[in-house]
Structure 1
Amino acid sequence: MYGSVFRDELFAGQTILVTGGGSGIGRCTAHELARLGAMVIVAGRRAERLDATAAEIVADGGRAATAVFDIRDEDAVAGSIAELLAAHGPICGLVNNAGGQYPAPLAEIGRKGWDAVVASNLTGGFLVARELYNQCMAADGGAIVNMLADMWNGMPGMGHSGAARAGMLNFTESAAVEWAASGVRVNAVAPGYIASSGMDHYDPAFARAMMPRCAAATPLKRMGEEAEVAAAIVFLLCPAAAYITGGCIKIDGGSSLASGLFGLADHDRSTPFRGFHRAAPPRAAQGLDRND
């Protein structure tokens, strides 16, 4: 059972949509929300991954459903949201987690690649949030959590993703103001270096080489856990965050504050929170100390 720090049945009677719920942080977050009593809808483009996540949740005693659609397809988003509302009733929470990118220097990114990453990490999230707001939350209220990244000092090597994530922060702030009168809170989380299965999308040699470097560049001297991101998302969705909107929680072990001007002391004093009982470390971590 998921080792959540939140009280049982915190989201009982609520339906929450998690995009990108078939793997990584989305899968972990869906498990925690279900553990806390929510009816979780996991959405994405690949039915087999979504079905696997939903089956895990049901096996653990939770409730889950799936929705297969491409967040970049405006008509598909509008239609899918309508179908979900008809099938499950009001959706009170959205975890706008779906996205993706690939490493490349700016000079080598073509228009097609740029547009694809911006669509995945900015436009798609906007479309899902807009449709859910217009079709449900404008009348019923709710909470939205958008996914960013550690893009505060630029994202050299992934500039397309950095630009999109920065745009998502501004969208978060704008929506928080515009939608407040409808009882909708909009916040964001910005994970840093997370030992997530999402790393398996990168070249294994690249990911394996980067993991120790990521840990070394972080004041807490380790990579983060999927459960540590999920916990922040769950907090922003829950009633304890009722006076928080337009904000962004950095979940990066302090990496966004490490300028390089001052050295970082080596230590092993940071204890990870490993609440996800079904966590699957990335393949690149095999054979490595998870705190490296």
Structure 2
Amino acid sequence: MKYRSVFRPGLFAGQVAVVTGGGSGIGRCTAHELAALGARVALIGRNASKLESVCAEIADAGGIATAHPCDIREEEAVRQTVAEVLAAHGRIDALLNNAGGQFPAALRDISLKGWEAVVRTNLTGGFLMARECLQQWMQDKGGAIVNITADNWGSMPGMGHSGAARAGMVSFTETAAMEWAPYGVRVNAVAPGYVASSGMDAYPPAMAPLLRSAADGVPLKRMATEAEISAAIVFLLSEAASFITGTVLRVDGGRPQMRAGWPQMQSKEGMDRPAVRPFQGFPLARPPKVLQSDEG
């Protein structure tokens, strides 16, 4: 089954796209879409077996992908991995900084080790990947970068370490867009809201009720599909976004605008109409287990 992209065939033909966190979730989905549109994809992540599995999926669908295990938090490892990608593919036209991770905890209970682990994964690693892609290729040839941040507008109670890192990623995106524009490099970010992705199954069972009720706080009364996030990323990496840089594209169903008690927002009338119906472009997507039953 081929990826059902809304973009024209061959959009990224001859290009190479690097995708961090490419072994699962949004990264896996976006890697499939980019490959389906003609890009050669370099998958980066810490779990080699997951990367190889996605490479095999992409090959089965007629695309080309290579696996490059790397801990993006380690500077020298990132430097060597970007060089490895260039040796394998000869160029880097696009970078998706998608790798991330966090754990639920109140700020008062987060240790220094826990704080630094999340910040290094969600912010520092993205900086290192972007810097190396710039220095080793894009400052001479140009390119496009998309950073993944989060729906952290206002606050992220229970995930303060992630909120701080993601807010930092927004500022990094804006600054890099300014500094790197002379090189012909565009830098943007995508901020997903609640996404029905495999990452939800990584949270402790105690969070299952909260995750299953999350869509109630979204005006569109549902979660995003992985393909809806991927489509936003692919647009920002494409030539159609050639005059867009330094911006954050929210893909969150309007959640930050939700106001408690606002009567219009309690109705689900119209939620199955074409303009808001879930886009299911990724044939291999499966809902997270936590959303499939009340038992989680």
What range describes the TM-score normalised by the shorter chain of this pair? over 0.9
Query: 1:160 matched to which residue of 2?
Result: 161
Most deviating of 156-165 and 254-263: 254-263
After TM superposition, the structure 1 = structure 2 runs for residues 81-230 of structure 1, keeping only pairs within 5 Å, are: 81-206=82-207, 208-230=208-230
Query: 1:11 matched to which residue of 2?
Result: 12
User: CA-atom RMSD, angstroms?
Assistant: 1.0
* Shift of residue 108, structure 1, vs aligned partner: 0.3
Unaligned runs of 5+ in 1: none
After TM superposition, the structure 1 = structure 2 runs for residues 209-288 of structure 1, keeping only pairs within 5 Å, are: 209-260=209-260, 262-263=262-263, 264-267=265-268, 268-269=271-272, 270-287=276-293
Contact 2:18 2:43 in 1 (8 A): yes
Contact 1:204 1:283 in 2 (8 A): no
Aligned equivalents of 1:145, 1:209: Cα separation in 2:
32
The total of aligned residue pairs comes to 287
* Shift of residue 211, structure 1, vs aligned partner: 2.9
Aligned equivalents of 2:267, 2:112: Cα separation in 1:
42
Aligned equivalents of 2:256, 2:52: Cα separation in 1:
36
Aligned equivalents of 2:280, 2:41: Cα separation in 1:
21
Aligned equivalents of 2:267, 2:187: Cα separation in 1:
37
DSSP-derived class of the 1:179 partner = helix
Aligned equivalents of 1:212, 1:284: Cα separation in 2:
7
Give the TM-score taking structure 1 as reference length.
0.96
Most deviating of 50-59 and 257-266: 257-266
Question: Partner letter of residue 123 of structure 2?
Answer: L
* Shift of residue 259, structure 1, vs aligned partner: 3.2
Contact 2:13 2:38 in 1 (8 A): yes
Q: C-alpha deviations, 1:191-232, integer Å up to 9, x for none?
A: 0000001111111341x3123321100000001100000000
Aligned equivalents of 1:81, 1:34: Cα separation in 2:
19
Contact 2:212 2:291 in 1 (8 A): no
Question: Partner letter of residue 238 of structure 1?
Answer: S
Question: Partner letter of residue 84 of structure 1?
Answer: V
Q: C-alpha deviations, 1:95-139, integer Å up to 9, x for none?
A: 000010000000100100000000000000000000110010000
DSSP-derived class of the 2:266 partner = coil
Q: C-alpha deviations, 1:39-96, integer Å up to 9, x for none?
A: 0111000000000001000001111101001000001001111121122111000000
Contact 2:18 2:42 in 1 (8 A): yes
Q: C-alpha deviations, 1:218-267, integer Å up to 9, x for none?
A: 00000110000000000000000000000011000000111326242221
Question: Partner letter of residue 235 of structure 1?
Answer: F
Contact 1:19 1:95 in 2 (8 A): yes
Contact 2:212 2:290 in 1 (8 A): no
Unaligned runs of 5+ in 2: none
Contact 1:191 1:252 in 2 (8 A): yes
Aligned equivalents of 2:104, 2:76: Cα separation in 1:
30
